[in-house]
Amino acid sequence: MMVQNKQNITLNPSELCADLRTYFESGITRSYSWRKKQLLMLRRFLLEQEEEIYEALQSDFRKSQAETYFTEIHYLITEIDAALKHLKSWMKKRRVPTPLRFQPGRSFYTREPYGVVLVVAAWNYPLQLAVAPAIGAIAAGNCVMIKPSEQSPATSELLVEGVGRYLDGKAIKVFPGGVEESRQLLEESFDYIFFTGGIKTGKQVMRKAAEHLTPVSLELGGKNPCIVDQNTNIPVAARRIVWAKFLNAGQTCIAPDYVLVDRNAEEELLRCMKDAVEAFYGTEPEESLDYPAVITEARLEKLAGYLDEGIVVTGGSTDAGRRYLSPTILREVSPDARVMTDEIFGPVLPVLSYETPEDALRVVRMARHPLALYVFSGDRSFQEYMIQNTQSGGVCINDLMFQAAIPALPFGGAGESGMGVYHGAAGFETFSRPRSVHVKRTFPENVLRYPPFSQKKFNRLRRLFRLFS
């Protein structure tokens, strides 16, 4: 299948992939100088096209400049700077000890690029989720095909134009389009696939990748719990939870999906969270310049269906024409309600109370492997108890989401929240594979290794192996 971009240039996925593979086989992308130049040009794109990025995200989401800067532009510049700082070190061959029985010789391994990488991005952070994996793939020396989301068309077009203008277009390409275009791309044989999105689509990607034995990374989602102990600063916890939940109108894969609060602190937390919503977005969040839209009317309709599954503490109003759902907090929600079994992915936050830490764990374990776990507590033993008795992609204590913003920390899921990690060195390693090398001399020659093996010769070899093990 062929599609046309805005400039009416015909895009054929098979031809584009063949071109990328030919270019990779030329060896150009393996050099340090090429990798460094692409990262520098990507950084330049983000800086020089800052206003255009603001306009694109405003068009797609009604995102504020501040939110776009911190969650898209600055986030990516931080990743690029970390890659530029450490790239030479990451590319160095790593020497390892050679056992005496294999001497004389030396052993080491290098990190080799996979080849042609497909990055399938999600719509909720359309620039970040397209570019951040590409940073690791470029740093590792790969050619890259980026498939942006059709649900963020302005950002998608910006990527097409920006990559074509700033980067090596023979090595890095953007393939716009919808579900059909994604399906066509997955028919091609890539060397690595990196997917960000929902669990259902992630499984489809993995099935298609298996046909070509292509390794994958899946960054998915899940029910991210936020556990609030009574032994914490409740007003601070409330502000931080409200900030993290309603950033991007709740459309963040690592946003807290629900809150579990000690019953003794429940009323104070709810009061402080309600105050925080008003402090951040005013009494009319619909008019706030800092509160974006829900991505589609269909998503809005699904989210509105959760509003009757608890008592509304604040919020609960909608405007289909503006794709608006006010920041909503629910209380007295059943653990069996749909809002507690679905991944919400929007501005609705259920708050449940617990009597004991064991009660909280029972609720958390209903969803098994969240992408993130959040714990507010001043008690180290409580913190450790929650970490040791749960499984999640990452953890943040007494704050939220920053575990994904630190380049030195690997970011990824566990179980149904995903597989594989990226960011910083982890991204470089994800998009490269270790290649082991052992170098020998032709002298001296150990003739004992060759057959035939008499009993005497075998006994001698066995003694030598035991001696030098």
Question: Contact, 269 vs 235, CB < 8 A?
Answer: no
Residue 219 bears catalytic tag? yes
User: Residue 232: its pLDDT value, please?
Assistant: 98
Rounded-to-integer distance, Cα 22 and Cα 18, Å: 6
User: Residue 10: its pLDDT value, please?
Assistant: 53
The residue annotated as part of the active site, out of 72, 188, 219, 266, is 219
Within 10 A of 225 (CB to CB), how many other CB atoms are there? Answer: 26
Per-residue pLDDT of 316-374, as tens digits, reads: 999 999 999 999 999 999 999 999 999 999 999 999 999 999 999 999 999 889 999 99
Number of H helices, E strands in the chain: 17, 22
Question: Contact, 396 vs 372, CB < 8 A?
Answer: yes
Question: Contact, 223 vs 258, CB < 8 A?
Answer: yes
Rounded-to-integer distance, Cα 348 and Cα 306, Å: 8
Strands, E assignment, 94-222 = 94-96, 105-113, 116-120, 143-147, 172-174, 192-196, 216-219
User: Residue 38: its pLDDT value, please?
Assistant: 99
Considering the entire predicted model, what is its pTM?
0.95
Per-residue pLDDT of 64-123, as tens digits, reads: 999 999 999 999 999 999 999 999 999 999 999 999 889 999 999 999 999 999 999 999
The residue annotated as part of the active site, out of 17, 143, 226, 253, is 253
Instruction: Output DSSP code: residue 375.
Output: E
Name the stretches of the chain with pLDDT < 50.
1-4, 6-9
User: Residue 446: its pLDDT value, please?
Assistant: 86
Query: Can you name the residues that pair with 374 across neighbouring β-strands?
Result: 226, 396
Q: Which domains, ranges and CATH numbers included, belong to the chain? A: 3-220+421-432 (3.40.605.10), 225-412 (3.40.309.10)
User: Residue 394: its pLDDT value, please?
Assistant: 98
